Amino acid sequence: MKITVPATSANIGPGFDSVGVALSKYLTIEVLEDSSDWEVIHDLGDIPSDANNLLIKTALEVAPDLAPHRLKMISDIPLARGLGSSSSVIVAGIELANQLANLQLSDQEKLNLATKIEGHPDNVAPAIFGNLVVASYLDGQVSHLVADFPSCDFVAFIPNYQLKTSDSREVLPSTMAYKEAVVASSIANVAIAGLLKGDLTVAGQAIQKDRFHEAYRQKLVKEFAPIKELAQTSGAYATYLSGAGPTVMTLVQQGEGEALKVALDKLKLDGETFVLAVDKEGVGLD
């Protein structure tokens, strides 16, 4: 059995902690034989290979009596880069428990569990459902809506350095003035309305006007400004920080991603550029 979970790009500008889209990078978990102890085979660097792995910790939180197995973990979702690497593992852990314990969880139940573990639904929701997901988490209840993302290419510049979400959150203000919050909310509303209507021109303009987090976080990602400048001269819809960063995501017309990638590569920034597409399936089994 194999469990596959897509990468995700959260926030998409003003959709802070509530909006995300599934993208075409993947975590794959292969379930091997029974074992006396949990073992996770991987080449992903300094992450645990035993029951301390987030995958196993999540699975055991859902189903504490799971019998240990040997597992193989393969991922092209880079760690701590703003592409939902930890959320993909949490979603995979829930699905692992669901399958091994035959829990027959609904997607809503998976979302409830994942949001409780992660703390907010912006990454875990699209990892479960695929596509674009708008969600809220209030008083322990998760509400969500799944929709198709408008046709476009996602051009992701992934820096060679990590930026932990905890560090990125430290630069955010603890409060926001009422009038400023109303303005920020109105911008988010237009961004979501544009995405749902399929108007990336209107959505893109709103995405780049976010007031909730990007103004504070952009200074942590030195590559953001030159990428945005180049993208705008190339006619891109929008450039935004993916999740907490440092990945810089640009939305361009479908078919124009490779041209922007070539142009970005000429900047010789410290990282790698990928052209990604929307994953419409979410977590799946093979």
pLDDT band at residue 212, thresholds of 50, 70 and 90? very high
SS3 215: helix
CA-to-CA separations, 88 to 67, 171, 188, 202, 259, in angstroms, rounded: 22, 25, 25, 30, 29
Q: Is 81 annotated as a binding residue?
A: yes
CATH number at residue 143: 3.30.230.10
- What is the structure's pLDDT at 74? 98
- What is the structure's pLDDT at 4? 98
Do 252 and 186 share a structural domain?
A: yes
Do 241 and 130 share a structural domain?
A: no
Do 183 and 103 share a structural domain?
A: no
CA-to-CA separations, 228 to 3, 234, 235, 257, 282, in angstroms, rounded: 35, 10, 11, 14, 29
Q: Is 194 annotated as a binding residue?
A: no
Q: pLDDT tens, 132-156?
A: 999 999 999 999 999 999 999 999 9
Do 14 and 108 share a structural domain?
A: yes
Do 160 and 143 share a structural domain?
A: no
Average pLDDT over residues 152-175: 93
Is residue 165 predicted with pLDDT exceeding 90?
no
What size, in residues, is the chain? 286
Average pLDDT over residues 212-232: 95
Q: Say which DSSP state 9 is in.
A: E
Do 110 and 162 share a structural domain?
A: no
Do 142 and 7 share a structural domain?
A: yes
Q: Is 80 annotated as a binding residue?
A: yes
Do 141 and 22 share a structural domain?
A: yes
User: Which among 112, 82, 72 has a CA at the least distance from the CA of 223?
Assistant: 82
Structure tokens at 107: 């997607």
Q: Is 49 annotated as a binding residue?
A: no
Q: pLDDT tens, 30-50?
A: 999 999 999 999 999 889 999
Do 195 and 111 share a structural domain?
A: no
Structure tokens at 47: 């992450």
Q: Is 169 annotated as a binding residue?
A: no
CATH number at residue 174: 3.30.70.890
Average pLDDT of every residue of the chain: 96
107: exposed, middle or buried (Cβ count in 10 Å: 0-12, 13-18, 19+): middle
What phi, psi does 63 have (nearest 5°)? -140, 90
Do 140 and 211 share a structural domain?
A: no
Q: Is 84 annotated as a binding residue?
A: yes
Q: Is 79 annotated as a binding residue?
A: yes
- What is the structure's pLDDT at 11? 97
pLDDT band at residue 189, thresholds of 50, 70 and 90? very high
pLDDT band at residue 166, thresholds of 50, 70 and 90? confident
Is residue 164 predicted with pLDDT exceeding 90?
no
pLDDT band at residue 188, thresholds of 50, 70 and 90? very high
Residue ranges making up the domain that contains 246: 152-276
User: Which among 268, 267, 220, 277 has a CA at the least distance from the CA of 247?
Assistant: 220
Average pLDDT over residues 215-220: 92
Q: How far apart are CA 39 and CA 210, in angstroms?
A: 43
Q: Is 78 annotated as a binding residue?
A: yes
Do 201 and 103 share a structural domain?
A: no
**Percent of the chain at pLDDT exceeding 90:** 95
- What is the structure's pLDDT at 167? 86
Residue 171's contacts (CB-CB under 8 Å, 6 or more residues apart) are 216, 217, 219, 220
pLDDT band at residue 9, thresholds of 50, 70 and 90? very high
Do 139 and 23 share a structural domain?
A: yes
Q: How far apart are CA 21 and CA 16, in angstroms?
A: 13
Q: How far apart are CA 251 and CA 235, in angstroms?
A: 10
Instruction: Say how many domains are in the chain.
Output: 2
For residue 40, the cross-strand partners are 71
- Provide the angle, in degrees to the nearest 10, between the axes of the packed helices 224-233 and 257-265: 130
Q: pLDDT tens, 79-102?
A: 989 999 999 999 999 999 999 999
Q: Is 86 annotated as a binding residue?
A: yes
